[in-house]
Amino acid sequence: MKNLIVIASIVACVCLNAQSNRVVCDENSCRIEPAGKESGYTVVSPVGRASIKPIEQAPRLDTLAGKTIAVVGQNFMARVTHPEIKRLILEKYPTAKVILQDEIGSAGIYPAPGLVRRDKEEFQRKLKEMKVDAVISGNGGCGLCTPKETGSCIAAEYVGVPSVVIAGSGFVDQARHTALNNGVAVMRCAEYPGAFALHTEAELLRNTREVLWPQIVEALTKPLTAEEMAAGEKGEKSDIRDDIFHGTFDEVQTFFKEMNWSDGLPVVPPTFAKVNEFMRYTPRKWDETIVVPPPANREVKAWHVAVNAVMAGCKPEYMPILVAMAKGMGVNRFYRALPSTHAWMPFSWLNGPVARQLGVDCGQGQINEEANMAIGRFMSLAMMNLCGYYVKQDRMGTFGYPMPWCLAEDEEACRRVGWEPFHVRAGYGKDESTITLSSVLAWGNNMTPSTTNPQKITELMAWDITERGQFALGSGNQFVNRTVLMTEPVASILAKKYKSADQLESDLIKLARRPVRERTFAKYYASPGSAKDGGEHTFREFSGYIRRTEGAEYTPTAPWRDFPETEQLTIPMMKAGMTDFLITGDAARNKIQIMPGAGIGGGHATVKVEVPDNWDKLMAERGYKPLADFKLGI
């Protein structure tokens, strides 16, 4: 009776205030909200929780006198700055001891949770063995080297050694966020004024003495403040499905933009009901952890995948693809290159019957079709909200990034041509569905072979490959992961000579060779690292280094170069297993597009797409034919 009175009182209260209140219910609870906002949206959060709690950092030093200090790192003119830092330490503090990189090494990028890096373990062991009191690491002057140099400081802080990282003006925030994401709330930075590699040796030395040195001393000796420590405080304990904001459509857009949860374009408001509908289309439970990806190391639940899927404008039935994509974002081969200033552009491709069932396009203009664009948009939001990549903070592309894109391989064309589709060559069954995540340095110009001679098409491809290495002019790594897109007409001609993509790759490896002088010129004057004009080497000495280390041989001059009857000293530009071939695109055109630089030290991550047991029933409700209708046969 008492409960009935309470309920009656609530109803009466709501009725009496009908002009100002409303009752909103879902399957879990009811709540009262202002009636004036009935046209608005009550939304949930797209961001996972941090999986790493801040460590308790050791006190800073009272002085550098009598201390053992490690000065480590090899990037961006460290050969000039680090000896000067050693000289300054010993000049100001004669009783101190300085250990350099060649004695102690460095930790490298701090590993994600669950991973072990021998460099880090060895570095920490030596810190203890050599009784190091402080670490100075640098120089952070690019999107990849800054996390690497910060990694040595993070490793030091974990074993109670105070540290400071040296970073260029545009990379200080990246260093601090890298540390925070790995449990170090306070990362002291010494900010270098400008770009290391563009300063003369005299400027580097002067800036080290006048700008860096005072910051280094303060960073290692000034006590940590409460304000600095507060940056690492977390402790969210509420349900991740709880509402976090209510407002009109425009207010939701403003809120998500201010929270850094949108990519600048309008998002679909992620209400509880809409997100919950998406959860029906995955076998994963809402609170199941899918991945804990760098750099933020957030726990990404299936719920968070669904929230970002809603925001991206995806359909609920895309969930199996998006869950697989999220899982792939935690694979080192995919994410390793993404912070770079060279701006690796992430993209994905699909194989298998689920893509065909959902109508993911593999023909002309495919990346601009509805399903393809929505999946690409999801990747854009997932990079921010699931992984923690933010432009100017963890994604340091000098000129920025285009929107990620999604395409699909035309497996029916593969069958007509006689080549296995990509996922089968990768070890999956023909009727299994997969998504592959990769990244490229150039979307590129496509090539139009105007010959029916497969040998000549191969030579054209080899020429294109020698012209497109890692970074402009091929000044980066000698061997580069590539993704090669080709239309069915071109593949059909090549199939007359090659029974598989592997056979084509084998011939390309033989043909795609670059003259040593071209390679030397590019790497000498356009080094992607810190060396200017070959560093301490003359051009001739540097050429000798290239010959010794990159497999130079005298080979017949390529058919596309002058005097093909002569020999030329060349180096190989391809290695087996580093090139992905996809038959896709406009079947009415003769096109090839070679996209170089797919990741660093890996290339791509392929993940199986899993659907729930009642998939056909769910899809029938939305007007789709059964999945079996889209299988091509085992």
Predicted confidence at residue 489, as pLDDT, reads 97
pLDDT higher than 90, residue 552: yes
Q: Do 17 and 136 belong together in one domain?
A: no
Q: Where are the alpha helices (DSSP H) in 69-225?
A: 78-92, 101-104, 118-129, 145-158, 172-181, 201-207, 213-221
Task: Kindly state the tokens that stand for 95.
Answer: 């009783």
Residues in a beta bridge with 289: 301
Looking at residue 402, what DSSP letter applies? P
The whole-angstrom separation of Cα 101 and Cα 81 is: 13
Torsion, Cα 411 412 414 418, to 10 degrees, reads 140
Q: Where are the beta strands (DSSP E) in 144-282?
A: 163-168, 189-192, 243-247
Which H/E stretch holds residue 457? helix 454-467
Q: Do 98 and 26 belong together in one domain?
A: no
The whole-angstrom separation of Cα 300 and Cα 297 is: 9
Give yes or no for a contact between 187 and 149, defined as CB atoms under 8 angstroms apart. no
Examine residue 375 and state whether it is found in any structural domain, yes or no. no
Stretch among 133-142, 212-221, 611-620 having the lowest mean pLDDT: 133-142
Q: What angle do CA 556, 558, 564 make, to 5 degrees?
A: 65
Residue from 441, 435, 579 nearest 503 by CA: 579
Examine residue 358 and state whether it is found in any structural domain, yes or no. no
Examine residue 146 and state whether it is found in any structural domain, yes or no. yes
Give yes or no for a contact between 323 and 290, defined as CB atoms under 8 angstroms apart. yes
Q: Do 173 and 72 belong together in one domain?
A: yes
Q: Do 24 and 166 belong together in one domain?
A: no
Per-residue pLDDT of 95-144, as tens digits, reads 999 999 889 988 887 776 656 677 888 999 999 999 999 999 988 888 77
List CB contacts of 200: < 8 A, sequence separation 6 or more: none
Predicted confidence at residue 31, as pLDDT, reads 47
Examine residue 144 and state whether it is found in any structural domain, yes or no. yes
pLDDT higher than 90, residue 30: no
The whole-angstrom separation of Cα 94 and Cα 107 is: 27
Q: Which amino acid is at 200?
A: T
Between β-strands 567-572 and 579-583, what pairing exists: parallel, antiparallel or unpaired? unpaired
Alpha carbon distances (Å) from 558 to 513, 569, 573, 579: 8, 11, 13, 21
The whole-angstrom separation of Cα 293 and Cα 562 is: 50
Q: Where are the beta strands (DSSP E) in 205-297?
A: 243-247, 289-291
pLDDT: is 450 or 27 the higher one? 450
Last residue of a domain, one of 173, 196, 230: 230
| Count of the separate structural domains present in the chain | 3
Q: Do 525 and 581 belong together in one domain?
A: yes
Give yes or no for a contact between 221 and 210, defined as CB atoms under 8 angstroms apart. no
Last residue of a domain, one of 230, 246, 277: 230
Per-residue pLDDT of 263-283, as tens digits, reads 989 999 999 999 999 999 999
Examine residue 302 and state whether it is found in any structural domain, yes or no. no
Last residue of a domain, one of 196, 230, 264: 230
Alpha carbon distances (Å) from 270 to 293, 394, 415: 22, 25, 41
pLDDT band at 16 (very low <50, low <70, confident <90, very high): very low
Single pTM value for the model: 0.78
pLDDT: is 443 or 71 the higher one? 71
Alpha carbon distances (Å) from 429 to 326, 412, 538, 573, 633: 22, 15, 53, 31, 9
Examine residue 410 and state whether it is found in any structural domain, yes or no. no
What's the farthest any 2 CA atoms get from each other in the chain? 103
Give yes or no for a contact between 520 and 574, defined as CB atoms under 8 angstroms apart. no
How many CB atoms are located within 10 Å of the residue 106 CB? 22
Residue from 428, 361, 406, 437 nearest 610 by CA: 428
Predicted confidence at residue 36, as pLDDT, reads 46
Predicted confidence at residue 235, as pLDDT, reads 44
Candidate ranges 100-114, 169-183, 297-311; pick with highest mean pLDDT: 297-311
Q: Do 28 and 120 belong together in one domain?
A: no
Q: State which residues form the domain around 486.
A: 442-596
* 374 backbone φψ class: left, alpha, beta (φ>0; ψ -120 to 50): alpha
Q: What sign does the CA torsion over 244, 247, 252, 254 have?
A: negative
Q: Do 72 and 219 belong together in one domain?
A: yes
Q: Do 110 and 23 belong together in one domain?
A: no
Q: Do 26 and 128 belong together in one domain?
A: no
The whole-angstrom separation of Cα 420 and Cα 632 is: 12
Complete edge-to-edge strand list for the sheet that includes strand 482-486: 579-583, 482-486, 592-596
The whole-angstrom separation of Cα 197 and Cα 531 is: 7
Predicted confidence at residue 566, as pLDDT, reads 81
pLDDT higher than 80, residue 610: yes
The whole-angstrom separation of Cα 126 and Cα 105 is: 9
Examine residue 393 and state whether it is found in any structural domain, yes or no. no
Which H/E stretch holds residue 305? helix 302-312
Average pLDDT over residues 207-228: 92
Per-residue pLDDT of 447-499, as tens digits, reads 999 999 999 999 999 999 998 888 888 888 889 889 999 999 999 999 999 99
Q: What is the CATH number of the domain that holds 216?
A: 3.40.50.10350
pLDDT: is 158 or 398 the higher one? 158
pLDDT higher than 70, residue 237: no
Q: Do 73 and 215 belong together in one domain?
A: yes
Q: Do 16 and 98 belong together in one domain?
A: no
Predicted confidence at residue 634, as pLDDT, reads 54
Q: What angle do CA 385, 358, 324 make, to 5 degrees?
A: 40
Predicted confidence at residue 275, as pLDDT, reads 97
Examine residue 55 and state whether it is found in any structural domain, yes or no. no
Q: Do 20 and 162 belong together in one domain?
A: no
pLDDT: is 302 or 236 the higher one? 302
